[in-house]
């Protein structure tokens, strides 16, 4: 298993290009199951989860042909309607194949993904939604079995709103008979990117970006070979901006829609950073110790849970006391115990963390236990004294393309050690 070795204390400065969003790419790749036509995608990130999705789709009958970040993807015919447990167990987003498999082939068997390090993460909304669309669903031997001749449009209400739940049901409803309305749908921009892609292929979807999405089912999706460019990864961009702030640096990220990070920019501004947003980029410049701020996560348009962990090290070095409240997942503070080992003063109570800023963090051997928690440890290591060795970097590689190369471009002293060699 790879590790990252970081010698902290370098002020990051410079500019980097943000990759395509993993959380938009995954459902868009899966949506290729809905028709036999070739889809052309650009800006597809080369990250662990996307590679796992290629494997899963490959089993189902999809062919992928990629050249850098450009991808030709096609599912001429479904080879099987059963997703293998070995792949589903490594990536929860595999649940996304459920809706498209039923919509295209009338049947799906997908193992229950189970819990993960950030919470129990049920999939009841995916299952209830498919039942509402007329599918027969049962759970047998740990797998969800779904059958439907043709799904029928209906009104579905989500509580709480689920990102992949909305995407799954939206993909299922695209080929259903009649109109489906999803109330309390997720408003994350990645859901809107999936909808935009489906609409290009002839789907009839309205209301994305609001909490009511209306889908008028069509018989088939069209052959549409014009490339779709995956939206920029707002979470990756935010991670580098926070890294710039914690090192009192000057970092610019290039991304087509800077407004995707309005929340984070407001938060960083409140810590004392100077933010300039231009068409196509965001620059963060920090020339003093950060001030404390309170962070409460929530579904879009609230502050994203996927940036909560990365804020924690910045607030650990801030002047004053900050309160971080995680409202989306029940166990998303696992990085805190590792940050404490680096000298952070953090107490937790349920899903709230009280962070009393300290003057310095110290390098230590630490272990990533999830994707964003791993990114938080890297951010902490950039500002820590001495050397930090971060193990289980594969968690980070699931969602960040060439993270150490980007950090080196910005002036960080970081290297990857392959396998078990220290």
Nearest to 82 by CA among 65, 98, 66, 64: 98
CA separation for the pair 243, 251 (Å, rounded): 8
| Nearest to ligand UD1 of 53, 73 (CB atom) | 53
Among 306, 326, 397, 401, binds ligand UD1 (CB under 6 A): 306
CA dihedral 280, 269, 375, 4 (to 10 degrees): 90
Does residue 97 belong to the site contacting ligand UD1 (CB under 6 A)? no
CA separation for the pair 7, 383 (Å, rounded): 9
Are 138 and 145 within 8 A, CB to CB? yes
> Radius of gyration of the chain from Cα atoms?
21
| Nearest to ligand UD1 of 377, 414 (CB atom) | 377
Angle, alpha carbons 216-221-225 (nearest 5°): 135
Partners of 177 in beta bridges: 152
Token digits of residue 356? 């009393």
DSSP tag of 261? G
Q: Could you list the active site residues?
A: 116
Does residue 335 belong to the site contacting ligand UD1 (CB under 6 A)? no
Give the x/- contact pattern for ligand UD1 in 73-92, rule: CB under 6 A: -------------------x
Does residue 23 belong to the site contacting ligand UD1 (CB under 6 A)? yes
Does residue 197 belong to the site contacting ligand UD1 (CB under 6 A)? no
User: How many residues of this chain bind ligand UD1 (CB under 6 A)?
Assistant: 22
Does residue 328 belong to the site contacting ligand UD1 (CB under 6 A)? yes
Nearest to 108 by CA among 82, 138, 132, 133: 82
| Nearest to ligand UD1 of 96, 410 (CB atom) | 96
| Nearest to ligand UD1 of 6, 379 (CB atom) | 379
Q: How far is the CB of 253 from ligand UD1 (least distance, A)?
A: 19
Among 12, 83, 93, 137, binds ligand UD1 (CB under 6 A): 93
- Chain centroid to CA 110: 21
Does residue 351 belong to the site contacting ligand UD1 (CB under 6 A)? no
Helix, strand or coil, per DSSP, at residue 76: coil
CA separation for the pair 180, 161 (Å, rounded): 16
Give the x/- contact pattern for ligand UD1 in 152-181, rule: CB under 6 A: --------x-xxxx----------------
| Nearest to ligand UD1 of 201, 372 (CB atom) | 372
Does residue 125 belong to the site contacting ligand UD1 (CB under 6 A)? yes
Among 64, 305, 310, 322, binds ligand UD1 (CB under 6 A): 305
Does residue 121 belong to the site contacting ligand UD1 (CB under 6 A)? yes
Q: How far is the CB of 260 from ligand UD1 (least distance, A)?
A: 13
| Nearest to ligand UD1 of 23, 391 (CB atom) | 23
According to DSSP, the β-strands at 38-42 and 70-74 are: antiparallel
Among 126, 187, 224, 283, binds ligand UD1 (CB under 6 A): 126
CA separation for the pair 73, 168 (Å, rounded): 19
CA separation for the pair 78, 92 (Å, rounded): 21
Q: For binding to ligand UD1 (CB under 6 A), which residues are involved?
A: 23, 26, 92-93, 119, 121-126, 160, 162-165, 186, 190, 305-306, 328-329
């Amino acid at each position: 298993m790879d590790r990252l070795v970081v010698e902290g204390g370098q002020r990051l400065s410079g500019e980097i290009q943000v990759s395509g969003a993993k959380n938009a790419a995954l459902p868009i790749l899966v949506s290729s199951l809905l028709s036999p036509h070739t889809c052309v995608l650009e800006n597809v990130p080369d990250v662990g989860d996307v590679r796992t999705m290629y494997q899963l789709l490959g089993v189902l009958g999809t062919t992928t042909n990629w050249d850098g970040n450009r991808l030709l993807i096609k599912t001429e015919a479904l080879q099987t309607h059963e997703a293998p447990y070995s792949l589903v167990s490594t990536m929860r987003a595999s649940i996304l194949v459920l809706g498209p498999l039923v919509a295209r082939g009338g049947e799906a068997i997908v193992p229950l993904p189970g819990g993960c390090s950030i919470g129990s993460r049920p999939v009841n909304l995916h299952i209830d939604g498919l039942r509402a669309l007329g599918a027969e669903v049962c759970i047998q031997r740990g797998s969800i079995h779904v059958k439907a001749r043709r799904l029928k449009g209906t009104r579905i209400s989500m509580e709480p709103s689920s990102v992949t739940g909305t995407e799954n049901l939206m993909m299922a409803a695209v080929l259903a008979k009649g109109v489906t309305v999803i109330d309390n749908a997720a408003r994350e921009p990645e859901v809107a990117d999936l909808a935009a892609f489906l609409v290009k292929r002839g789907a009839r979807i309205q209301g994305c970006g609001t909490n009511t999405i209306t889908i008028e089912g069509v018989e088939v999706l069209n052959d549409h070979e014009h490339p779709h460019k995956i939206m920029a990864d707002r979470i990756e961009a935010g991670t580098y901006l926070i890294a710039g702030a914690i090192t009192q640096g000057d970092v610019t990220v290039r991304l087509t829609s800077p407004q995707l990070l309005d929340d984070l920019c407001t938060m960083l501004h409140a810590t004392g950073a100077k933010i300039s947003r231009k068409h196509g980029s965001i620059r963060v410049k920090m020339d003093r110790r950060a001030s404390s701020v309170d962070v409460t996560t929530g579904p879009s348009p609230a502050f994203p849970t996927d940036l909560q962990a990365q804020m924690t090290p910045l607030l650990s070095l801030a002047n004053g006391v900050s309160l971080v409240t995680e409202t989306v997942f029940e166990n998303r503070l696992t990085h805190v115990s590792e940050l404490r080992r680096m000298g952070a003063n953090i107490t937790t109570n349920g899903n709230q963390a009280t962070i009393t800023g300290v003057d310095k963090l110290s390098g230590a051997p630490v272990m990533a236990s999830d994707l964003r928690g791993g990114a938080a440890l890297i951010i902490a290591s950039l500002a820590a004294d001495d050397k930090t060795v971060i193990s289980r970097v594969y968690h980070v590689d699931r969602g960040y393309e060439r993270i150490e190369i980007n950090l080196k471009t910005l002036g960080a002293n970081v290297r990857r050690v392959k396998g078990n060699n220290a």
